[in-house]
């Protein structure tokens, strides 16, 4: 059986605020719904992790209130790239130092998932950890070194 694949990603950030309700985070939080809506309307968007507030800020896999995660699935690396770097989202990337501290050397990881599958939080965290420890491979990678879909060279 031949599968088609989609790209899953996790990104992690350590807030400057003590938690998501810290006043330093207000502008970021005030724009979350807009940025998430933009993702959902973007070409190639498939799925994103959502909690009780329609965002992922309630998840805490690192047992640290200052760490935020985001997980999503896209049709292709190109569609994810376009959303991240060519939309209103890129304005927030450029300003991330206003809200976030440095988070290690790697804060985004991508990997291929079979069409219709969605990563759970622990699997995504494990992928990011693997990328941090071992660098890019066909199992997990980043925008700087992308690997093709399984079965595609």
pLDDT digits (tens, 9 = 90+) for 9-29: 999 999 999 999 999 999 999
Q: CA nearest 36: which of 109, 88, 95? A: 88
Q: In this predicted structure, what is the pLDDT of residue 1? A: 45
Grade residue 102 by pLDDT with cuts at 50, 70 and 90.
confident
pLDDT at residue 146 is higher than 50: yes
Is the per-residue pLDDT at 67 higher than 90? yes
Q: How many CB atoms lie within 10 A of CB 139?
A: 14
Q: How sure is the predictor about 88, in pLDDT bands with cuts at 50, 70 and 90?
A: confident
**Do residues 102 and 3 touch, judged by C-beta distance below 8 A?**
no
Q: Is the pLDDT of residue 54 over 90?
A: no
Residue 153: its pLDDT value, please?
A: 64
Q: What's this model's pTM, rounded to 2 decimal places?
A: 0.92
Phi, psi for 130 (deg, rounded to 5): -65, -40
Mean of pLDDT over the chain: 92
Structure confidence at residue 2 as a pLDDT band (50, 70, 90): low
pLDDT exceeds cutoff 50 at 43: yes
Residue that the structure tokens 């694949």 belong to:
5
Do you know the residue count of the chain? 153
Please give the structure tokens belonging to residue 126.
Answer: 């494990």
Rounded to whole angstroms, how far apart are CA atoms 84 and 96? 13
As a 3-state breakdown, the chain gives helix, strand, coil percent values, each rounded to 5, of 35, 25, 45
List the one residue out of 106, 21, 29, 26 whose CA is nearest residue 65.
21
């Amino acid at each position: 059986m031949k599968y088609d694949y989609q790209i899953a990603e996790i990104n992690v950030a350590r807030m400057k605020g003590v938690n998501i309700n810290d006043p330093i985070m207000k502008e970021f939080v005030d724009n979350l719904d807009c940025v998430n809506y933009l993702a959902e309307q973007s070409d190639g968007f498939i799925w994103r992790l959502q909690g009780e507030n329609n965002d992922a800020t309630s998840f805490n896999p690192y047992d640290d209130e200052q760490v935020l995660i985001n997980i999503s699935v896209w049709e292709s690396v190109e569609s994810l790239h376009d959303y991240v770097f060519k939309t209103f989202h890129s304005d927030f990337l450029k300003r991330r130092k206003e809200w976030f501290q440095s988070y290690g050397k790697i804060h985004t990881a991508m990997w291929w998932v079979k069409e219709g599958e969605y990563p759970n939080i622990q699997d995504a965290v494990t992928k990011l950890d693997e990328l941090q420890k071992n660098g890019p491979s066909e199992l997990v990678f980043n925008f700087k070194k992308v690997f093709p879909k399984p079965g595609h060279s």
